Amino acid sequence: MRKNQNFKKYLFSIFFPLIITIITIIIKNKMELKKRSKPELPKKLKIGYTSWGQCDEKVYESVKNGLNIIIWFSIDLSENPETKECEIQRGLDYKKVALMTKKFKDNNYKIINLISIGGWNSKHISEKFTAEEYYETFIKFNEKISDPSLDFYGFDGIDWDIEGHDDFSNSINKFTFKELDLMGQLSVLLKKNNYIVSMAPAESYLDPFNEEFSLSLLFNHKEWENEVPKFNYHGRNVYAYLIKKFGIETFDFISFQFYEGYTHALYKFQREKKFFGDILMEFLSKVKNGFYVDFSMVKESGFGREKIIIPEDKIVIGLANGWANERFLFIPKNDIISSYKFIKENNYDIRGMMFWDIKDEDIERDGEPFNMAKIFNEIL
């Protein structure tokens, strides 16, 4: 009897670890099967931003008109004032978003859905938490808003759109390296888990026509100083730090906001009367072949005068639709069409085009409704 018990113990000592190992392998394999698969970006990106909290029939109409990426606007990464925990603030009615994405699928529209982080006058990312904490918070948020009954599993990724504030004295008119590092580290973590990561810098936040670097967002452009001496809302290549430190490969595409207030592009188009195709060619030549940023102007950056190169397959041109007034670049339909044809004929190309915003589609310009989604669909 004792021998039999010893034999059972012997068998248990051999097979129990083996069983545990097998179970562990099975669980691991199941987790691998459940690992998020990265959505495939379209060959040409036709992107539209919703307005603040927007989720209505105009969003669906923009998809019908040709958009293949919707960037939903927007959220903040911040601290809960009561629990002091990391949380996602503001946002949208996610039930409506789920229903809308179901409508896309039911009508055979394959749409990438990203969530924007930031926006003008919006909070900057809180420095009280680590990138890992923000990552876990985003994953839980995406799981919480998921609705399998509507085939909605949260957003496909994020778009960085952290900007400045109307009030010059507001602290968010200056970035910190800790904040930028958190943005970059979170981007790397999300990219590793097959989320799409993009950025939408204002023209001055990633500026191939100015080598200067600063964390401040309170500058003017030299060409505009005489006309609008008090318009000190420009940056100095602050988003270039993200590319330099975390690599261009971290970002799936970069949407340049040509519609930032009083841009270089606006001055060339409006004051110098340049053809928009020539403006695009000059810009693309700079970013594609490389432009320099002097990070040593802020020693804490840890970098010197560095070359930034952005390949064509990551370049997205951001335009304004009918809302744009004289402060912001508005390009008429025929100029957009002829300019894109012009750059293609001169052996340049872009990954796609983006516009702000869907709410303002079909505003009348030059005697007819201006619809950017239809223009993108015609040329891309």
Helix (H) or strand (E) holding 76: strand 69-79
Average pLDDT (259-269) is: 98
Q: Is residue 152 part of a domain?
A: yes
Q: Are residues 106 and 6 in the same domain?
A: no
pLDDT band at 30; cut points 50, 70, 90: very low
Report d(CA 50, CA 92) in Å as an integer. Answer: 10
Q: Are residues 304 and 226 in the same domain?
A: yes
Q: Mind listing the pLDDT tens digit for each residue in 159-196?
A: 999 999 999 999 999 999 999 999 999 999 999 999 99
Q: Are residues 153 and 217 in the same domain?
A: yes
Q: Are residues 252 and 306 in the same domain?
A: yes
The CA angle 325-327-333, to the nearest 5 degrees, is 50
Instruction: Judge contact between 323 and 15, C-beta under 8 A.
Output: no
The confidence score (pLDDT) of residue 8 equals 56
Q: Is residue 40 part of a domain?
A: no
Identify the domain containing residue 111 by its residue range: 46-379
Q: Are residues 86 and 12 in the same domain?
A: no
220-to-137, 200, 242 alpha-carbon distances in Å: 37, 20, 22
Q: Are residues 85 and 22 in the same domain?
A: no
Q: Is residue 231 part of a domain?
A: yes
Q: Are residues 277 and 369 in the same domain?
A: yes
Question: Pairing state of beta strands 315-320 and 253-257?
Answer: parallel
What DSSP letter does each residue of 96-129 carry, written as one string?
A: HHHHHHHHHHHTT---EEEEEEEETTPPPPPTTS
pLDDT at 4 over 90: no
Please provide the average confidence, as pLDDT, over all residues in the chain: 93
Report d(CA 353, CA 319) in Å as an integer. Answer: 8
Average pLDDT (57-83) is: 97
pTM for this model (two decimals):
0.90
Q: Is residue 37 part of a domain?
A: no
Closest by alpha carbon to 280, among 317, 319, 324?
317
- Assigned token pair, 81: 């004032």
The confidence score (pLDDT) of residue 194 equals 97
Q: Is residue 342 part of a domain?
A: yes
Q: Mind listing the pLDDT tens digit for each residue in 273-309?
A: 999 999 999 999 999 999 999 999 999 999 999 999 9
Q: Are residues 309 and 369 in the same domain?
A: yes
Residues in Cβ contact with 46 at an 8 Å cutoff, skipping those fewer than 6 apart: 66, 67, 68, 69, 352, 353, 373, 376, 377, 380
The CA angle 319-113-40, to the nearest 5 degrees, is 100
pLDDT above 70 as % of the chain: 91
Closest by alpha carbon to 47, among 122, 117, 111?
111
Cis before 74? omega within 30: yes
Q: Is residue 337 part of a domain?
A: yes
pLDDT at 105 over 80: yes
Which CATH number does the domain housing residue 312 bear? 3.20.20.80
Q: Are residues 180 and 58 in the same domain?
A: yes
Q: Are residues 8 and 154 in the same domain?
A: no
The confidence score (pLDDT) of residue 118 equals 98
pLDDT band at 202; cut points 50, 70, 90: very high
Q: Are residues 130 and 4 in the same domain?
A: no
Q: Are residues 28 and 116 in the same domain?
A: no
Q: How many domains does the chain have?
A: 2
pLDDT band at 32; cut points 50, 70, 90: very low
